[in-house]
Amino acid sequence: MATIIVKATEKCNSNCYYCDVVYKKDTGKSMPLEILETLFIRINEFLKAEIGERVEILWHGGEPLLLGPQYYMSALKLQDKHCLDTKNRITHNIQTNLTCFNSEFMQPFKELGIHSIGTSYDPEPHMRGPGKIIDSDTYNRRFMQALELLDRNDIAWGLIYVVTKKSLAKPLDIFFFLSNLTMGKGFNMNPVLIYDDKRKNIAITPEEFVEFLGAIFPYWWKYRQRYPDVNPFKGLVENVINRDLSLSCGDSGACTYHHINVAPDGQTSQCGRSADWGLLQYGNIRDKSLGEILHDQQRDPLNERIEVLPKTECSDCRFWDICHGGCPLDAYSQHGSFMHKSEWCEAKRGFMERYFEPITGVKFESRKQENCKK
């Protein structure tokens, strides 16, 4: 499966405190339909050449709904025009703040096969919202209206909660809030990633993230049937207890030859962050096929990393199978090189050793350990 992150627009209607996009200088571009058309032509070429492959399009931004429902109808038409024989191998997902979602998006979403929407939320005032004051009241009201519309139309959704310094004082309160809001749907708790000095006041350390999760985990474990879809807990249970090693992009070590970020002007990169930082630039889809982009030699160091780390920094870590050194971009931000583990590895290790294993009574064994036993 190739994942194409389509940065359909860099514009955003929100000014979220922890978002990097709002600090970027050039954030006004949106993807013209001619670039979108080229993208579908490239996808069709790729799928015709790679029988059995699939493509996941992840509509991203900025705020992708700012482009309006017509834009997605146009995307549908372009897909129908250029991917007539391959469109059944294309899936669509979207990551949106939902604040400009309305019933007019239903038709294009339905026709594109978007049955589930990824979003994010923070109940803390003035963390998410438009304008200089970060008007969370307006944002939250629109967000709740959108959820109501999604629920009424049986469109599933799941949300990401970003753990900041402000979250640390009340982990269980936040957990209850999110589980009450999502009720039967899922949410994911991720640490805030801050790369500048302007917003250090909300940054957290890996250790703080461990303690945040650790304050929730005993309760979640006891009542996990009541709160089935809470991550990272559910994912770890599946990894460790059910031995299902499907992992997120940051932990899988498998993003190397599968991910493409497409900027509004057609420039490609590994992912959103590498694009923002000017790293791993693979050229423009107008000039290169997806196959060429997916096998660009600049990707090789990411693959090499997976060979190197188990012999170096990660040699003594038994959690390699569920971490793979973490996101290479995180490692780059700290060390200026991909050939290191991410500092967030320590969060996973700390959580596993201090909370997950003692509370569940299940000790994780890597494949290497299992093989040794055999």
| Nearest distance in Å: CB 133, another protein | 15
Let me know the angle formed at the C-alpha of 23 by 22 and 25, rounded to the nearest 5 degrees.
105
Q: Does 228 bind another protein (CB under 8 A)?
A: yes
Stretch that binds another protein, among 165-173, 255-263, 287-295, 330-338 (CB under 8 A): 165-173
Stretch that binds another protein, among 70-78, 134-142, 283-291, 330-338 (CB under 8 A): 134-142
Q: Does 315 bind another protein (CB under 8 A)?
A: no
Nearest to 239 by CA among 369, 356, 118, 374: 356
Count interface residues toward another protein (CB under 8 A). 21
Q: How far apart are CA 188 and CA 234, in angstroms?
A: 10
Nearest to 118 by CA among 187, 71, 194: 187
- Token pair 């589980």 is found at 179
Residue 215, token pair as written in the block: 């304050």
Q: Would you mind telling me the total number of residues written for the chain in this entry?
A: 374
Window 38-57: residues binding another protein (CB under 8 A): none
| Nearest distance in Å: CB 177, another protein | 5
Please report, for the chain, how many H helices and E strands are present, in that order.
15, 10
Q: How far apart are CA 348 and CA 333, in angstroms?
A: 18
Q: Does 225 bind another protein (CB under 8 A)?
A: yes
Alpha-carbon Rg for the chain in angstroms: 21
Binding-site string for another protein from residue 111 to residue 130, where x marks contact by CB under 8 A and - marks none? ------------x-x-----
Mode of pairing for the β-strands spanning 259-262 and 116-120: unpaired
Q: Does 158 bind another protein (CB under 8 A)?
A: no
Q: Does 80 bind another protein (CB under 8 A)?
A: no
Q: Does 218 bind another protein (CB under 8 A)?
A: no
Q: Does 291 bind another protein (CB under 8 A)?
A: no
Contacts 24+ apart (CB under 8 A), 308-314: 308/339, 309/339, 309/340, 309/341, 312/339, 313/340, 313/341, 314/341, 314/345
- Token pair 């997120």 is found at 248
- Listing DSSP states for 164-223 in one string gives -GGGTT-HHHHHHHHHHHHTTSEEEEEE----SSTTGGG---HHHHHHHHHHHHHHHHHT
Residue 335, token pair as written in the block: 């060390």
Nearer to another protein, 101 or 332 (CB): 101
Give the distance, in angstroms, between the CA of residue 96 and the centroid of all CA atoms in the same chain: 12
Exactly one of 27, 68, 115, 177 binds another protein (CB under 8 A); which one? 177
Nearer to another protein, 226 or 295 (CB): 226
Nearer to another protein, 29 or 185 (CB): 185
Q: Does 361 bind another protein (CB under 8 A)?
A: no
Q: Does 153 bind another protein (CB under 8 A)?
A: no
Nearer to another protein, 128 or 348 (CB): 128
Nearer to another protein, 3 or 179 (CB): 179
Q: Does 195 bind another protein (CB under 8 A)?
A: no
Q: Does 226 bind another protein (CB under 8 A)?
A: yes
| Nearest distance in Å: CB 228, another protein | 7
Nearer to another protein, 76 or 150 (CB): 150
Q: How far apart are CA 341 and CA 324, in angstroms?
A: 8
Q: How far apart are CA 271 and CA 332, in angstroms?
A: 13
| Nearest distance in Å: CB 368, another protein | 38
Q: Does 215 bind another protein (CB under 8 A)?
A: no
Q: Does 137 bind another protein (CB under 8 A)?
A: yes
Q: Does 160 bind another protein (CB under 8 A)?
A: no
Residues within the interface to another protein (CB under 8 A): 123, 125, 137, 140-141, 144, 147-148, 170, 172-174, 176-177, 180-181, 183-184, 225-226, 228
